[in-house]
A and B are shown apart, each in its own frame.
Chain A
């Protein structure tokens, strides 16, 4: 039986991390499933466990002029109820799991779990989110795409905690999200697509496109997005084949028990085209 700690406050949590290199457990909705054993037995952990889900310091949402700062241990449900959380993020969260899981599961957990099918990730990539990591005597901030390095892999150090997620405030006038799972509600993603854009005076002034569950990590390419900047509806229409084929080169899904390569890739590209043509261009007019 490993030790489990329930620190009274965030500072003690950091101390415990330093001394024990513990596994943080926020909601546990990922950990308790992946570590489960025979009913009646505690799940298996090779290292001590640190409960962090109750720590008020990392359960807050703070807003300033430029950023929204979301505490890592905020439950998904609490974010849905929060007035200041951007609608585009709420749309994503409302399609994650089920009400009971959202009551317990946290945004930080979804990020640190770093699953290619983690649903909160594409929108966070698209919004240029960054993560704040803290250990005793060190705080660092990284863009989310630098934080996640592969399936289940992050640059988190073994005494470090994710404390908050920073999302720059931006207003988009086009948002399009599609999660494709096996069932309309409550199923893990086969693939997902996130498109965000700002249209000004008939042209695209800002655009972000990301794909979930179709590569080792979320796909977002600033170079490809760049091609679309300052373009009009007509120009975009002409660029669709090129942009499609550029994304096609980076979308590298796998076959697994939920879907296959062909479907994941084809539909991702179809969603891209749908976004560009049907959503964006029709909005530009």
Chain B
């Protein structure tokens, strides 16, 4: 390979996917495979008083809590979620048992004949109810999965001398992943070992969950990722649960067992983005400068803790956005409710926080009669500044350069002035957002928790195998990681082999999450490749093994949340132009521009794909993706009712990357997968604000909400 590494190559998996050759989990067949279907709780919160099970014909099985040989808890940060409900259920859709057998018709019949006796317990459905603690807590004593506080500078002192204090509250709703391939797993029990195949992001999360659930040694457990039809965080923690199900079922039945969700089940029972309520209290001085902010973040974590505390941390660490605010207090709480568990989704707490912060900056500017963009620019972070957690921004911060670029591309200033002079015929507006994403795991998580290992192996035929546990879920890891290795070894990309990971073969290079794959795993592979290159001639077969080492500059205290919350940051700015229909309040997106600093792009077209896909998903989140839960039940539980963008929804996107280089990333790469999502909602909401001259305080910005807001302000 010659030239810039970023020059795009043909994505490795295009032919197999386009031609329908690729095998996703639902496409796999095994001899005498059985089907499984889940019996789920129909109550949001109840004690299970008893379960009547009809006579089960030969060859059919009920698999429940009693079939979990190890610990009936899905391995997560806190082990509170059972594989199968025990004496209580905490959300509608919680799995109670599986019915397993060869004939679907019979399985359905058995399911319909099972009767569960519930004794209702007073449920908790909202953040407000959870906070009030008006019934027995679901979790701990205060119903909080996490309750953190961080402080920077001296906020009390600063609020004391403020010329002005402004308070605003923002709300964000659920978001569902809608990966197009629903969740699915197949479990096989053979020669005293369990193998689980499935659609997943984190083979070793799944393996560790099986070790705990089965209570077996890791040598008896194998996990294989199958080509994954989209994930976006939805296949980070959730697959561990259903991998357990098929594993227990396979052990009990002695046959392969397949569990494939249909869409409704997938929407009703799997994780979603945390809804949030974010309150910001801001102190300004006489010069219209922010001197302090007090941020209160509350999230609906759903019934089990899952990843809520880390999602919350990410939101908290982003609590001042891209702005340098000297005095800060942030409180963050993730509450337990009797809703379906919330979980990982692209951005991981960032989108909620950045929406609130960006809108708040806008509102503050209005408050002090300054141009919102100028107001933002004057507070912008620079290299050397300190973050909320007191970390130092060591790398370049090119926000001003990026802002200039995006202003030029979108003609923002001119349009903003023009659109601000409202005439009622066409309501046009333009909005700009500034944002970042902290790359990889929080603080020293890569060193203390993940401890990634990679292997590279030169085979006798000269081909090189990448042995890692990270997956391609569409984001292009198969291509980018191959490119890195090929370039370092100076061999053709086609000579690098990277199969879907199989835990029998690959070491634990960590989960495919947190936009860490290229930056962390790619960097390790680069180092491994350098070593392999040096040892290339030593033997016909050479294997090198590399373990993550933390860059020396990172300082982090996980107890106090002090120091470098992330190894480095990727930055972005987005401009969105909209037109709002004066009669129906429907929003039409007319233009989208973005400039990003992701370090070196390993493949420009793949980055473009991340940008475009991220923006699209972010605009959906901001506008049409309405999901409400009523009495613990998701109301929009089909793709008919939970609407995601289609091809007609918005126009082309113009995006650019700026030159930047991170010395601890492969060829200078930082993170890119989640970043583009984050800026879409605040840019869109600001644009609508500009069009209608109202304050937008929640997403999704639905026509219903706009109509009510406009009526309210008239």
- Establish whether A and B are touching in the complex (CB under 8 Å): yes
A residues with CB within 8 A of B: 33, 37-41, 178, 180, 182-188, 257-260, 262-263, 266-267, 270-271, 274
How far is A263 from B581 in the complex, measured between Cα atoms in Å? 14
Cβ B37 vs Cβ A180 within 8 A:
no
Cβ A183 vs Cβ B260 within 8 A:
no
24 A-B contact pairs sorted by A residue (CB < 8 Å): A33-B640, A38-B37, A41-B104, A41-B105, A178-B583, A180-B703, A182-B626, A183-B624, A183-B643, A183-B649, A184-B586, A184-B649, A185-B648, A187-B643, A257-B636, A257-B641, A259-B704, A262-B707, A266-B707, A266-B711, A267-B584, A267-B703, A271-B583, A271-B584
Instruction: Give chain A nearest CB distance to B397 CB in angstroms.
Output: 37
B116 within 8 A of A: no
How far is A178 from B582 in the complex, measured between Cα atoms in Å? 13
Option from B108, B626, B707 in Cβ contact (under 8 Å) with A41: B108
- Which of B260, B635, B646 is packed against the most chain A CB atoms within 10 Å? B646
Q: Which residues in B have their C-beta under 8 angstroms from that of A182?
A: 624, 626, 643
Given that A184-B648, A186-B648 are known contacts, is A38 also in contact with B708, CB under 8 Å in the complex?
no
Other A-B pairs, 14, CB within 8 Å; known A182-B643, A271-B584: A38-B37, A38-B108, A40-B35, A178-B584, A183-B624, A183-B649, A185-B648, A257-B635, A259-B704, A266-B711, A267-B585, A267-B707, A270-B584, A274-B583
Cβ A262 vs Cβ B704 within 8 A:
yes
> Chain B at the A interface: mostly helix, strand, loop or mixed?
loop
B558 within 8 A of A: no
Given that A38-B37, A263-B704, A266-B707 are known contacts, is A183 also in contact with B645, CB under 8 Å in the complex?
yes
Which B residue sits closest to A278, measured CB to CB?
B583
B463 within 8 A of A: no
How far is A39 from B703 in the complex, measured between Cα atoms in Å? 35
Q: Could you tell me which residues of chain B, from 612 to 653, have a CB within 8 Å of some CB in chain A?
A: 624, 626, 628, 635-636, 640-641, 643, 645-649
Cβ B646 vs Cβ A183 within 8 A:
yes
B residues with CB within 8 A of A: 35, 37, 104-105, 108, 260, 262, 583-586, 588, 624, 626, 628, 635-636, 640-641, 643, 645-649, 703-704, 707-708, 711
How far is A259 from B588 in the complex, measured between Cα atoms in Å? 18
How far is A39 from B27 in the complex, measured between Cα atoms in Å? 13
Which A residue sits closest to B586, measured CB to CB?
A180
How far is A182 from B321 in the complex, measured between Cα atoms in Å? 31
Cβ B588 vs Cβ A184 within 8 A:
yes
Cβ A180 vs Cβ B624 within 8 A:
no
How far is A188 from B640 in the complex, measured between Cα atoms in Å? 8
Cβ A263 vs Cβ B703 within 8 A:
yes
How far is A270 from B424 in the complex, measured between Cα atoms in Å? 14
Instruction: Give chain B nearest CB distance to A277 CB in angstroms.
Output: 11
Cβ A38 vs Cβ B643 within 8 A:
no
How far is A258 from B645 in the complex, measured between Cα atoms in Å? 15
- Which of A37, A38, A180, A187 is packed against the most chain B CB atoms within 10 Å? A38
How far is A258 from B262 in the complex, measured between Cα atoms in Å? 22
How far is A257 from B585 in the complex, measured between Cα atoms in Å? 18
Q: Which residues in B have their C-beta under 8 angstroms from that of A267?
A: 583-585, 703, 707
How far is A263 from B705 in the complex, measured between Cα atoms in Å? 9
Which A residue sits closest to B627, measured CB to CB?
A257
Q: Which residues in A have their C-beta under 8 angstroms from that of B643?
A: 182-183, 187
Instruction: Give chain A nearest CB distance to B640 CB in angstroms.
Output: 7
Q: Which residues in A have their C-beta under 8 angstroms from that of B707?
A: 262-263, 266-267
Q: Which residues in A have their C-beta under 8 angstroms from that of B636?
A: 257
> Chain A at the B interface: mostly helix, strand, loop or mixed?
loop
Q: Which residues in A have their C-beta under 8 angstroms from that of B586?
A: 180, 184
Instruction: Give chain B nearest CB distance to A263 CB in angstroms.
Output: 4
Which B residue sits closest to A187, measured CB to CB?
B643
How far is A187 from B641 in the complex, measured between Cα atoms in Å? 8
- Which of B260, B583, B584 is packed against the most chain A CB atoms within 10 Å? B584
Q: Which residues in A have their C-beta under 8 angstroms from that of B105?
A: 41
How far is A157 from B711 in the complex, measured between Cα atoms in Å? 47
Q: List the 4 closest A-B pairs by CB distance, nearest first.
A: A185-B648, A263-B704, A257-B635, A182-B643
Which A residue sits closest to B636, measured CB to CB?
A257
Cβ B108 vs Cβ A39 within 8 A:
no
Which A residue sits closest to B637, measured CB to CB?
A257
How far is A185 from B35 in the complex, measured between Cα atoms in Å? 37
Cβ A185 vs Cβ B646 within 8 A:
yes
Which A residue sits closest to B642, measured CB to CB?
A257
Which A residue sits closest to B111, measured CB to CB?
A38
How far is A187 from B586 in the complex, measured between Cα atoms in Å? 14
Q: Which residues in A have their C-beta under 8 angstroms from that of B626?
A: 182
Option from A180, A185, A262, A271 in Cβ contact (under 8 Å) with B708: A262
How far is A267 from B585 in the complex, measured between Cα atoms in Å? 9
Q: Which residues in B have their C-beta under 8 angstroms from that of A180?
A: 584, 586, 703
Which B residue sits closest to A178, measured CB to CB?
B584
Cβ B584 vs Cβ A38 within 8 A:
no
Instruction: Give chain B nearest CB distance to A32 CB in angstroms.
Output: 13
Instruction: Give chain B nearest CB distance to A11 CB in angstroms.
Output: 35
Instruction: Give chain B nearest CB distance to A242 CB in angstroms.
Output: 20
Q: Which residues in A have their C-beta under 8 angstroms from that of B645?
A: 183
- Which of A33, A37, A178, A258 is packed against the most chain B CB atoms within 10 Å? A258
Instruction: Give chain A nearest CB distance to B498 CB in angstroms.
Output: 31
Cβ A39 vs Cβ B260 within 8 A:
yes
Instruction: Give chain A nearest CB distance to B113 CB in angstroms.
Output: 16
Instruction: Give chain B nearest CB distance to A183 CB in angstroms.
Output: 5
Which A residue sits closest to B105, measured CB to CB?
A41
How far is A38 from B182 in the complex, measured between Cα atoms in Å? 14
Q: Which residues in B have their C-beta under 8 angstroms from that of A41?
A: 104-105, 108
- Which of B588, B643, B647 is packed against the most chain A CB atoms within 10 Å? B643
Option from A39, A258, A270 in Cβ contact (under 8 Å) with B583: A270
How far is A83 from B260 in the complex, measured between Cα atoms in Å? 46
Q: Which residues in B have their C-beta under 8 angstroms from that of A178?
A: 583-584
Instruction: Give chain B nearest CB distance to A5 CB in angstroms.
Output: 22
How far is A258 from B647 in the complex, measured between Cα atoms in Å? 20
How far is A116 from B242 in the complex, measured between Cα atoms in Å? 39
Which A residue sits closest to B262, measured CB to CB?
A39
How far is A33 from B263 in the complex, measured between Cα atoms in Å? 13
Cβ B646 vs Cβ A258 within 8 A:
no
Q: Which residues in B have their C-beta under 8 angstroms from that of A262?
A: 704, 707-708
Cβ B108 vs Cβ A37 within 8 A:
yes
How far is A258 from B643 in the complex, measured between Cα atoms in Å? 10
Instruction: Give chain B nearest CB distance to A266 CB in angstroms.
Output: 6
How far is A33 from B645 in the complex, measured between Cα atoms in Å? 21
How far is A178 from B703 in the complex, measured between Cα atoms in Å? 15
How far is A178 from B584 in the complex, measured between Cα atoms in Å? 10
How far is A170 from B585 in the complex, measured between Cα atoms in Å? 33
Given that A39-B260, A182-B624 are known contacts, is A260 also in contact with B104, CB under 8 Å in the complex?
no
Q: Which residues in A have their C-beta under 8 angstroms from that of B649?
A: 183-185
Q: Which residues in A have their C-beta under 8 angstroms from that of B647?
A: 185
Instruction: Give chain B nearest CB distance to A190 CB in angstroms.
Output: 8
Q: Which residues in B have their C-beta under 8 angstroms from that of A266?
A: 707, 711
